[in-house]
Amino acid sequence: MKQFVTEEKHIAATITDFETFFSFIDQQRPKLSQRMEALGKKDVFELNAKLLFRKDVSAPVYLQSSYPIIDLMFNLALLGGLYRKAGDDKADIYLESTSLKLQFDKLNNYEKYCFLLETFWTKFDFSELIRWGTGTSGQFTKTISKSKPGQELIKGSFSKRPDYEPLFSYLSVFVHYFSFFGFCSFEQLEIKINKLGKYNDSISRIYPTEFGVNICKILHTLKLRLWNFPYHSIMGINTDDKYYSLTKGPFVEHLKPLFPQNALLKRIQPEAIKPKEGNYTFKVMLGKSVWRKIKLSHKHTLEDLHQYIQEAFDFDNDHLYSFYMDGKRYSDDVYNSSFGDVPPYAYEAVIGKLGLYRGKKILYFFDFGDSWKFLVQLVDIDANEKEIKKPVITEIKGDAPPQYGNY
């Protein structure tokens, strides 16, 4: 039997929609919503109309999370380091391309596809899938790999239970993802009720593609539980798994047999964080009308910033705190109170070595009982100014609220 080799046509739709997404972000520079830090309803509606994998909608009434493919591309752009969230002087948030995006643009389409697939498989947060166990992902890759291209897969084909098929109902979003990556196509059920419940079926049939059959033969051995970093942070990693040895080499090496010879030569090289000297000015906000600006040198730490936030808002500094570097409470990207017992600690986080950039937003969370949430934004890095020895509060707006009250 002739060995299958991926052609550009197998991945063209995936790459085309990603390029459309990138162009929209770069040209339109849409402002992200303050609360969700996601694209707004009008922006996702406009972007959706430009995509090949589009959602059937007639008005801009849905949040980004209701557009599976846009939401996926948005997250992969961030997880892959191609874009980052940055704020302006008004604390509005935008997506900003990085130096890794410049590397990405120089890759061929095969290399771009494999980078995006690797980011999906290793960095995407499959929280909903993990909640129900990763067996469903294994069922998908195993079933597809043993199917014939175009074969009709109906309810029960994956779970072997005709009455229970998560991929057709509450985990159907993953079918959208797999279809987007070219593994399959699918038919949706005609919905006869006004609102589809989470556990109602939304998919009637799945059809594997020739590309999907062959790549799922590889992905079925590259178990999600062994490669996915968010899964590891929750469940740990089983080094006794018979497939664990596969993780010792680069992910893309396992994909090479499926692609043309020498098609996967270039890779994106993550850039090491270089210390950046200068004086850093942070805007610490409790809403738009109450904020303080604090200047520190590159030699100071997040603990120093914590102490001056306390001084700037006249708090007693009598509770634990955390700096969530990605702005998301409970994330793993965090530095904690130095007098707590959960590392890494704020006193270890030297500001000039954190890879911070203008517009970077951080969540400073103080007092886990009263839950004070301060938005901290880096507004300036002055490399030419004389290094300050002691942090200083440079600007004040609004009266600080009482620490113990009903603010």
Residues 239, 120, single domain; the answer is yes
Q: Quote the tokens at residue 147.
A: 């199917």
Three-state DSSP state, 83: strand
Residues 208, 296, single domain; the answer is no
Distance of alpha carbon 138 from alpha carbon 273, whole angstroms: 36
Distance of alpha carbon 345 from alpha carbon 259, whole angstroms: 45
Long-range pairs for 161-170 at CB < 8 Å and ≥24 separation?
Answer: 165/201, 166/132, 166/136, 167/136, 167/139, 167/140, 167/203, 167/206, 168/201, 168/202, 168/203, 168/204, 169/198, 169/199, 169/200, 169/201, 169/202, 169/203, 170/128, 170/132, 170/198, 170/199
Distance of alpha carbon 329 from alpha carbon 337, whole angstroms: 14
Do the domain assignments include residue 404? no
Contact yes or no for 224/126 (Cβ under 8 A)? yes
- Predicted pLDDT at 271: 81
Cis before 162? omega within 30: no
Contact yes or no for 24/47 (Cβ under 8 A)? yes
| Residues sharing a CB contact under 8 Å with residue 18, sequence separation 6 or more, in sequence order | 73, 112, 116
Do the domain assignments include residue 215? yes
Give the single-character DSSP code of 153.
B
Give the single-character DSSP code of 53.
S
Do the domain assignments include residue 59? yes
- Predicted pLDDT at 198: 64
Amino acid identity for residue 383 in this structure: A
CA atoms within 13 A of residue 345's CA, in its CB half-sphere: 11
Contact yes or no for 263/367 (Cβ under 8 A)? no
- Predicted pLDDT at 32: 94
| Residues sharing a CB contact under 8 Å with residue 84, sequence separation 6 or more, in sequence order | 78, 95, 96, 98, 357, 360
Amino acid identity for residue 173 in this structure: V
User: Could you list the pLDDT tens digit for every one of the 407 residues in the chain?
Assistant: 679 999 999 999 999 999 999 999 999 999 999 888 999 999 999 999 999 999 999 999 999 999 999 999 999 999 999 999 988 777 788 999 999 999 999 999 999 999 999 999 999 988 777 676 667 888 999 999 999 999 999 999 999 988 889 999 999 999 999 999 999 999 998 765 556 666 688 999 999 999 999 999 999 999 988 999 888 888 888 888 888 999 999 999 999 999 999 999 999 998 888 889 999 999 999 988 999 999 999 999 999 999 999 999 999 988 999 999 988 888 889 999 988 889 999 999 999 999 999 889 999 999 988 899 999 999 999 999 999 999 999 999 999 999 887 65
Do the domain assignments include residue 191? yes
Count of the separate structural domains present in the chain: 2
Residues 217, 301, single domain; the answer is no
Three-state DSSP state, 356: coil
Residues 235, 330, single domain; the answer is no
Residues 251, 376, single domain; the answer is no
Do the domain assignments include residue 268? no
Do the domain assignments include residue 25? yes
Residues 204, 289, single domain; the answer is no
- Predicted pLDDT at 332: 84
Residues 242, 285, single domain; the answer is no
Of 191, 225, 258, the position where a domain reaches its end is 258
Residues 179, 246, single domain; the answer is yes
Segment holding 46, helix H or strand E: helix 41-48
Residues 210, 147, single domain; the answer is yes
Residue 299's domain spans which residues? 279-397
- CATH classification at residue 336: 3.10.290.30
Residues 121, 79, single domain; the answer is yes
Segment holding 84, helix H or strand E: strand 83-87
0.75 exceeded by the pTM?
yes
- Predicted pLDDT at 277: 94
Distance of alpha carbon 147 from alpha carbon 180, whole angstroms: 19
Contact yes or no for 201/186 (Cβ under 8 A)? no
